[in-house]
């Protein structure tokens, strides 16, 4: 399927989208507002547009007259783009085209960047942490009957210039028979030490030449989901990837409830076994998908937050949730994966990403390592936003981190119609600056069921820019729209009328919902501010933002800046890395450079406990506005507010 | 009980023995012959002596007249020494006292030497391999909430100048609760690395101060018996020791039959579990005896021959018994003892003595390390004699070793009336040079049942010196004694007539028995010769002999030289160390110096396979004489033969 150019009139705004995309999503992406409430099911029939050139499929409605249909009337939510198209959007006011051009900003999500194997090689950072070497040993005879281990190690010393070798007992156990299986031709797996003066471990021996097959597993152990990748260590490619819900969810949704469960008799053991069961399930899937033999899996690298890490190792997590929030350890030594129940062969060595603090865990460290920000010059803000937000600021010279409780707003929690990002969630939003009619885009293009995090941010941002709410998140009660109303004393905005929804009730956004979002974004922003202040810098110093975690992928950067979740920065300098934990695990499967560096990084990353930093509360209070008390820091927002005002002031409407 | 001086007349030979010793054993030790066949039960009544001064208890017989009893007649085998005594032995010939003085050599066993803790300290070799350190850590608070592991390690770095520390996951698992049990006052166990640049492992954490209790276990895993010692690491003292038969005996008496059993389906697992069961039983005994807590046992050091080592670790031993006799490994890495089923706490690290070759195992290396011969100037012959004899020759500059099959003669096997050294075994022997009447001393002072190894050597030596047999082990058929007789064509010597025995049959020593002993001693001696020749030396170069193993403790050194088992050397230069394997295990529990050195020692110890050394057969043929074809090498034997001849030639007998 090719790409098509879609031109919207009267805006005269063009965008390139894949063939088959719906017109309404193309419009949203282009920053073109079209009234639409029913999420694409065609029931509201508000999103009528006219195709002036090119072809679309679908989008006809029995509400159109034959003549209308004939001259190109279609429902934007149901019409799919079939080639280059020119579409006219009916506007209810005589808005100058020039204003349109100034006004609308196309939806802008972060660039996705993933480190890869080739870039590692190019940058000279590729040091294989696990290698296979094929050996053809001289056969033993009466004159040379040295022990099997000695024969092998001497050969590696002389032929491979390998030193400080150590063979594990399980390998020694298999050595005599494996060597004799194929005339002393065999392949050994060498696991490199993390410290330069450490030992190289010989962890596996296989008959014949198996060097072509050498695999690693990268594993992200999330509180909610567990993802695994199977990586070919020769090519650096990911051969398979799978994920599943962490079985521990049955014992509590968040880390705190898991810790509480772990404190019950037998609870820790249950949680440990449960997470391992999920891991084994996911591993089973990727190993089957990739069609590789378990014998050829050499290593597994895992990353998870501090609670997940301690639960995986059956380390009592009770002190993680009690002041002064002390984790058991940062670094964990490598260990045999099977010893904790992971269904991999005895030879597989597991590496676990170190944590920094109780609420800045191995998942964050993995993101830092995987992005390489610890080696870069640019001062970077690394953000992983969920119920907890982890914040890292730094570069090659210094690193500071903290965590704050953002509350569940970004995941749809604490919002009356909030929901997780699943089918029926309003994920994108636009509003007519004059009529205040909304344009809703839902996941799955179905009638709305609720609002997910990214939708929430977009709503609040646009409502603020267009003056629907003020900088404290209160509705302008004077707007002449029935969508703004008081409901049992609480002001709200009706996003979709009950007939347009799946739930048979009006879906609204209330001042309480907005307040929750402000608190959440205020917590994150003031966390960043506090961290910067502690190192003597201000927000202007940030040269780059890296977003990690599922949330970051859907965020409209401009909107996130409008509400003051992110500082204002050129969107080109915002990078989205997706699952940073999995990425870091993959990267350190590929190069020992990262495994070596991580020890250093954990040492130089300073953790700040916000609750112990007096200025945090001041920053928090200052951040309880949209975008912030100091709007001067957000010139873009100011500019956009002005543009909306100009638009709204055009006479003749 | 004090010591008493016993003077024998007419020999005028005095000896000091403990009060309560039997007269006949005192005589044997003094080299005084008294006819005696019944082993001390009083039935033969041949061992009549007369007490001239002092007191003995017991030894009266109804065969004595009242007058005889009155003037001091006693049976030497039953009379026990009660103070300084002068005893007259009836001699049947007019032998000059001066000849006696020249003739008899007191029984001379090797000096016992055991290395000890004090000598290690004096020699500056004491480097504790496992230490406990008591810590009073600063309590965590909001300003200092570093992880528990970091807190502990930082403290050890700053306060203890400890570096390169690594904590095992089981310790991390226990750390949070143990630290909080006693206000962050705790004791850690530090296991030092074998390599100088290695890591110090933190293997245990205990609440409060437990530094006073730090124990090690030394374990000798013999084919027949398993011995263990529990050692106090503060004082170096052994608090308890116990042994038991290796349960694997049910599956075969010697290593070869064990290997054959291990090759059967499930055999290896059975043997592994069986030896571990015996180990656990013995450990249970010593831990109970010493009354220590398992929590305070920090380490176990084990030594065994190559087969025992491989069976312990469940490493297929089949190639040990097949040419070219290749063991799996020499060195084994340290491991957690509980992982192979040993009933010690999870934190206990096991060290296994490395082997040199299939038939020179960790038990021998332990002996070499424990005696310190690898650090000495003197060129030493180290011998561990059993069914297999292991031979090490060397000093601080070089070490060569080999093993030979001596056959079971030294353990009483292949000898018609041979038996193990247990009750009823003739363990010592003397013979009247004129009448050829024997003097038998049995284990347990009971009527004889058979002959054990030391008895056999003494018999053959004295029979050779007194001309009863010639240098090919054939009886002088012309002696006028009915004790020398042909039995179904095979010549033999009657040691005890059937009425004097427990078995109701004459106990004899045949030419076939003697031939078996000659083959056994010939194998050992020619092994030593071959080893020396391979390094360009001859037997004269040997400056010291160290005997290890149970056999060595009973050996009469002069007799062993007479038969040509040992080269002639000043008996003062022969040392007996007892169980060298256990001693080495104990010594390396006490000092890391040995643990470090052993790696080097295994590298510089050259193993020679006798079957692959052409000169071995020549040396063997030359050693098939008593003492050897080259009797010039045995001037002492020549001298003694001459003295006996002179004695036998005294006229008037």
Say if the Cβ atoms of B329 and A355 lie within 8 Å. no
Domains of chain A in sequence order = 1-106 (3.10.20.30), 118-207 (3.10.20.880), 218-352 (3.30.420.480), 373-643 (no CATH)
- Residue A112 in this model has a pLDDT that exceeds 80: no
- Give the span between the Cα atoms of A26 and A83, in whole angstroms: 13
Q: Name the closest residue on chain A to residue B361, using Cα atoms.
A: A147
In DSSP terms, A36 is beta-bridged to A439
- pLDDT single digits (tens) B41-66: 888 888 889 999 998 999 988 888 88
Interface test with A, best of B326, B335, B608, B609 (most A CBs within 10 A): B326
pLDDT score recorded for residue A359 = 94
B332 at A interface, C-beta within 8 A: yes
Q: How far is CA B430 from CA B36, B50, B366, B455, in A?
A: 9, 20, 36, 10
In DSSP terms, B238 is beta-bridged to B231
Range in A66-80, A542-556, B47-61, B623-637 the model is least confident about: A542-556
Q: Name the closest residue on chain B to residue A197, using Cα atoms.
A: B197
- pLDDT single digits (tens) A263-322: 999 999 999 999 999 999 999 999 999 999 999 999 999 999 999 999 999 999 999 999
- Give the span between the Cα atoms of B303 and B297, in whole angstroms: 18
Say if the Cβ atoms of B168 and A319 lie within 8 Å. no
Q: Which residues of B touch A142 (CB under 8 A)?
A: 323-324, 609, 611-612
B137 at A interface, C-beta within 8 A: no
Determine the distance from the C-alpha atom of residue B343 to the mean position of all C-alpha atoms in its chain, rounded to a whole number.
27
- Give the span between the Cα atoms of B579 and B303, in whole angstroms: 11
Which residue did the predictor score with more confidence, B296 or A434? B296
pLDDT score recorded for residue A44 = 83
A614 at B interface, C-beta within 8 A: no
- pLDDT single digits (tens) A176-195: 999 999 999 999 999 999 88
- Residue B241 in this model has a pLDDT that exceeds 90: yes
Q: What are phi and psi of A309, to 5 degrees?
A: -65, -45
- Residue A486 contacts residue A511 (beta carbons within 8 Å): no
Rounded to two decimals, what is the model's pTM? Answer: 0.84
- pLDDT single digits (tens) A393-415: 999 999 999 999 888 888 888 89
Residue A439 CB contacts under 8 Å (≥ 6 apart), including other chains: A24, A27, A28, A33, A34, A35, A36, A47, A429, A430, A431, A432
Confidence bin at B98 (pLDDT 50/70/90): very low
Confidence bin at A107 (pLDDT 50/70/90): low
Confidence bin at B94 (pLDDT 50/70/90): very low
**Token reading at A265:** 């008799």
Range in A41-45, A53-57, B33-37, B500-504 the model is least confident about: A41-45
Q: Name the closest residue on chain A to residue B150, using Cα atoms.
A: A329
* Rounded mean pLDDT, A240-246: 94
- pLDDT single digits (tens) A525-544: 999 999 999 999 999 999 99
Range in B202-216, B274-288, B404-418 the model is least confident about: B404-418
Confidence bin at A388 (pLDDT 50/70/90): confident
* Rounded mean pLDDT, B471-483: 91
pLDDT score recorded for residue A106 = 61
pLDDT score recorded for residue B99 = 46
Q: Which residues of A touch B316 (CB under 8 A)?
A: 173, 176-177
pLDDT score recorded for residue B112 = 63
A98 at B interface, C-beta within 8 A: no
Q: Which residues of B touch A328 (CB under 8 A)?
A: 147-149, 172-173, 175-176
pLDDT score recorded for residue A9 = 87
pLDDT score recorded for residue A402 = 96
pLDDT score recorded for residue B159 = 92
B320 at A interface, C-beta within 8 A: no
pLDDT score recorded for residue B184 = 97
Residue B126 Cα, gap to closest chain A Cα (Å): 26
Say if the Cβ atoms of B146 and A172 lie within 8 Å. no
Mean pLDDT, chain B, rounded, equals 91
Which residue did the predictor score with more confidence, A396 or A253? A396
- Residue B617 in this model has a pLDDT that exceeds 90: yes
- Give the span between the Cα atoms of A57 and A78, in whole angstroms: 8
Say if the Cβ atoms of A149 and B329 lie within 8 Å. yes
A137 at B interface, C-beta within 8 A: no
Question: B535-539 long-range contacts, Cβ below 8 Å, gap at least 24?
Answer: B535/B393, B535/B398, B535/B400, B537/B379, B539/B567, B539/B633
Interface test with A, best of B144, B169, B321 (most A CBs within 10 A): B169
Range in A110-124, A512-526, B167-181, B191-205 the model is least confident about: A110-124
- Give the span between the Cα atoms of A251 and A244, in whole angstroms: 16
- pLDDT single digits (tens) A323-344: 999 999 999 999 999 999 999 9
Q: Name the closest residue on chain A to residue B165, using Cα atoms.
A: A333
ipTM score of complex: 0.85
- Give the span between the Cα atoms of B8 and B18, in whole angstroms: 16
Q: Which helix (H) or strand (E) holds A297?
A: strand A297-304
Say if the Cβ atoms of A328 and B148 lie within 8 Å. yes
**Token reading at A292:** 């590789």
Phi/psi zone of residue B26: left (φ > 0), alpha (ψ -120 to 50 degrees), beta?
Answer: alpha
B134 at A interface, C-beta within 8 A: no
């Amino acid at each position: 399927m090719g790409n098509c150019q879609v031109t919207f009139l009267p805006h005269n705004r063009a965008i390139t989208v894949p063939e088959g995309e719906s017109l309404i999503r193309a419009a949203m992406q282009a920053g073109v507002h079209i009234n639409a409430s029913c999420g694409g099911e065609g029931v509201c029939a508000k999103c009528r547009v006219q195709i002036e050139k090119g072809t679309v499929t679908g989008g006809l409605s029995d509400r159109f007259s034959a003549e209308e249909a004939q001259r190109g009337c279609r429902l934007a939510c149901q019409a799919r783009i079939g080639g280059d198209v020119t579409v006219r959007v009916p506007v209810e006011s005589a808005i100058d085209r020039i204003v349109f051009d100034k006004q609308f900003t196309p939806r802008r999500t972060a660039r996705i960047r993933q480190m890869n194997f080739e870039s590692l090689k190019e940058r000279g950072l590729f040091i294989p942490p696990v290698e296979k070497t094929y050996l053809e040993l001289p056969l033993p005879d009466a004159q040379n009957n040295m022990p099997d281990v000695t024969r092998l190690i001497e050969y590696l010393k002389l032929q491979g210039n390998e030193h400080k070798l150590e063979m594990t007992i399980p390998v020694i156990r298999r050595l005599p028979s494996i060597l004799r299986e194929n005339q002393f031709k065999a392949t050994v797996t060498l696991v490199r030490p993390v410290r330069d003066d450490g030992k190289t471990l010989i962890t596996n021996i296989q008959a014949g030449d198996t060097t072509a097959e050498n695999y690693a597993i990268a594993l992200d152990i999330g509180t909610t989901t567990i993802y695994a990748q199977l990586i070919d260590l020769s090519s650096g490619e990911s051969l398979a990837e799978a994920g599943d819900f962490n079985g521990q969810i049955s014992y509590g949704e968040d880390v705190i409830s898991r810790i509480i469960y772990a404190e019950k008799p037998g609870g820790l053991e249950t949680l440990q076994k449960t997470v391992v069961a999920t891991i084994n399930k996911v591993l089973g899937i990727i190993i089957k998908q990739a069609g590789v033999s378990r014998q050829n899996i050499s290593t597994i690298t895992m990353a998870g937050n501090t609670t997940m890490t301690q639960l995986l190792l059956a380390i009592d997590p009770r002190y993680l949730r009690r002041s002064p929030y002390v984790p058991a350890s940062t670094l964990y030594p490598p260990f045999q994966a099977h010893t904790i129940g992971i269904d991999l062969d005895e030879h597989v060595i597991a590496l676990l990403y170190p944590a920094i603090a109780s609420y800045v865990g191995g998942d964050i460290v993995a993101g830092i390592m995987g992005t390489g920000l610890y080696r870069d010059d640019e001062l970077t803000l690394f953000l992983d936003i969920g119920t907890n937000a982890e914040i890292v600021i730094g570069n090659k010279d210094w690193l500071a981190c903290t965590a704050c409780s953002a509350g569940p707003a970004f995941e749809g929690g604490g919002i009356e119609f909030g929901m997780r990002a699943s089918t029926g969630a309003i994920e994108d939003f636009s509003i007519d600056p004059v009529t205040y009619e909304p344009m809703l885009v839902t996941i799955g293009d179905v009638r709305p069921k609720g609002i997910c995090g990214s939708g929430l941010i977009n709503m609040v941002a646009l409502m603020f820019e267009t003056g629907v709410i003020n900088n404290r998140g209160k509705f302008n009660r004077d707007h002449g729209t029935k969508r703004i109303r008081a409901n049992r004393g609480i002001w709200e905005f009706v996003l979709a009328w009950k007939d347009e929804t799946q739930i048979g009730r009006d879906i609204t956004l209330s001042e309480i919902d907005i307040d929750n979002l402000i608190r959440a974004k205020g917590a994150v922003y003031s966390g960043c501010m506090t961290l910067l202040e502690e190192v003597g810098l201000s927000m202007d110093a940030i040269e780059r933002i890296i977003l990690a975690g599922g949330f970051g992928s859907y965020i409209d950067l401009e909107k996130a800046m409008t509400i003051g979740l992110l500082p204002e920065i050129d969107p080109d300098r915002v990078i989205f890395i997706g699952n940073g934990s999995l990425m870091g695990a993959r990267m350190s499967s590929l190069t020992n450079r990262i495994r070596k560096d991580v020890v250093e990084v954990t040492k130089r990353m300073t953790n700040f406990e916000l609750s112990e930093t007096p200025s945090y509360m001041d920053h928090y209070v200052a951040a309880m506005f949209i975008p912030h008390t100091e709007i001067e820091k957000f010139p873009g927002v100011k500019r956009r507010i002005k543009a909306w005002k100009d638009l709204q002031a055009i006479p003749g409407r």
